[in-house]
Structure 1
Amino acid sequence: MTPMTADHRPQMSVEEFEELERHAPESVWLEFINGKVVVKPMADGNHREIIAWLQRLCMQYRPDLWLHAESGLKTERYRKGRARADGVLVPVGGLKGQGEWSEAEAALLAVEVTSYDSDTHQRDRVEKPDGYAAAGIPVYLLIDRDDCSVTVFTDPEDGRYRRQVKEPFGASVKIPAPVGLTLETEQLKEFVD
């Protein structure tokens, strides 16, 4: 992967990235974050089970919404980034007519589950919250398998979430409006390697 140029210009345009991503093998997920191409690791079984757990809860308590797994979003200021969220919660039908990289306007919540790789800190704890906040996504939910915690980021303003609440696995985690859901997270303990 080529780093950004010395004068901090993106290594390629969004259009060039989308062309590259269209031709990438199916075993690789690419993202375009802060002007650089990032290879996102494939999800392991526990990672996929966490997303399925969250989908079931959303269906049970908010049947008017749907959590789409592995959904491409236009992120960052002026939609110059491309992030493949582990989950995106939208009103039912909210992605209708959208392409591979959906506009973020319909997204009420973006979800990331940490992976066991060297880039997870920078990607999931730093770059993704900033990109999702800049795109105006009201809530970012980080399920962190490294420290067995759930962090709810809210109140996006000027490319940052102004508020974060972090709870350990096992706690009741409140996700405020526009989602309006409380997660009982005891079961997440089962999905930590």
Structure 2
Amino acid sequence: MTILNDHRSTPSEPRLPEETFEEIARIAAREDVYFEFINGKLWEKPVPDGDHAMIIQWLTRICIQARPELWLFPEQGLRIHAYRNGHARPDGVLAPSGAMAGQSEWAATDGVLLIAEVTSFDDDTDRRDRIDKPRAYAETGIPVYLLIDRDSCEVVVHSEPDGTRYETVRRLPFGKPAELPAPVGITLDTEPLKDWVN
């Protein structure tokens, strides 16, 4: 993902209004990228590759089998603003199956139990997925942030958001069971992830 604007506002400078971002995303949307607005920065996110899609399919199946009342919404736009206005398009959003009914392209985070991200093979994945997004999701109060890191072949489970950061971060190599804590309550058999790291 390429950062398009690293303008950091000060109290005397206005931030990019949400409405302006939404209009930019609508007009500039192309088939090969998505746009996100996280911590005051406009990011260009590449469309996922085939292995990335297989990981989301794998996670969806597990969630449906373990918790049929929930659904993993792929690429659902979310308003992630606690202290900063932001818009993210996570790879997966776990919420009650009817949670997105009546929502706009950029839904509220009410009822979201987990956000899942899968690293992409681009220059910005380190900053975006490992630094900016965990902070933004913790500030928003998302209970669990699951990062499937294809670079390090690890599953990273962030939980217990305190409004600034996640207090608990567990790193597990692919192949080890990964427990997604309450309110999710699902254990992942991560062995299949070894096949989708290329």
* TM-score interval, normalised by the smaller of the two chains: over 0.9
Kept in 2, the 8 Å contact 1:76–1:130? The answer is no
Corresponding residue to 1:66 among 68, 71, 83: 71
Measure the CA separation in 2 of the matches of 1:182 and 1:11.
40
1:2 to partner: Cα distance: 3.4
Could you tell me which residue of structure 1 aligns to residue 27 of structure 2?
23
Gaps of 5+ in 2: none
1:18-57 CA-partner distances (Å, limit 9, x unpaired): 1101112332200001112100111000001000000011
Q: Which residue of 2 aligns with 1:14?
A: 18
Separation in structure 2 between the aligned mates of residue 52 and residue 151 of structure 1, nearest angstrom: 18
Q: 2:176·2:191 contact (CA, 8 Å) conserved in 1?
A: yes
**1:134 Cα deviation from its structure 2 partner:** 1.0
C-alpha distance in 1 between matches for 2:142 and 2:15:
26
Q: CA RMSD in A?
A: 1.5
Cα deviation, residue 6, structure 1: 7.1
Return the alpha-carbon distance in structure 2 between the equivalents of residues 109 and 122 of structure 1.
20
Partner of 1:126: 131
**What does residue range 14-163 of structure 1 map to in structure 2 within 5 Å?**
14-27=18-31, 28-78=33-83, 80-163=85-168
Q: Counterpart of 1:121 in 2: which secondary structure?
A: helix
1:4 aligns with 2:20: no
Q: In structure 2, what is the Cα distance between the partners aligned to 1:81 and 1:6?
A: 14
Question: Are the equivalent residues in 1 in contact too, given 2:40–2:84 (CA < 8 A)?
Answer: no
Q: Distance in 2 between matches of 1:6 and 1:100?
A: 26
* Paired residues for 1:151-190 under 5 Å: 151-190=156-195
1:98 CA displacement? 0.8
Q: TM-score with structure 1 length normalisation?
A: 0.95
C-alpha offsets along residues 67-109 of structure 1, whole Å, 9 cap, x if unaligned? 0101111113256100100000001101111111111111100
- Describe the SS at the equivalent of 1:104: coil
Post-superposition, which runs of at least 4 consecutive aligned residues in structure 1 deviate over 6 A? none
Please tell me whether the aligned partners of residues 8 and 40 of structure 2 are also in contact (alpha carbons under 8 angstroms): no
The answer to whether the Cα contact below 8 Å between 1:2 and 1:11 also exists between their aligned partners in 2 is no
Q: Is the 8 A contact 2:175 2:190 kept in 1?
A: yes
With structure 2 as the length reference, what TM-score do the two structures score?
A: 0.93
* Distance in 1, Cα, partners of 2:21 & 2:64: 34
Query: Which runs of 5 or more structure 1 residues have no equivalent in the other structure?
Result: none
Percent of residue pairs bearing the same amino acid type: 50
Change (3 A) 1:110 1:89: same
Whole-angstrom CA distance in 2 between matches of 1:56 and 1:5:
40
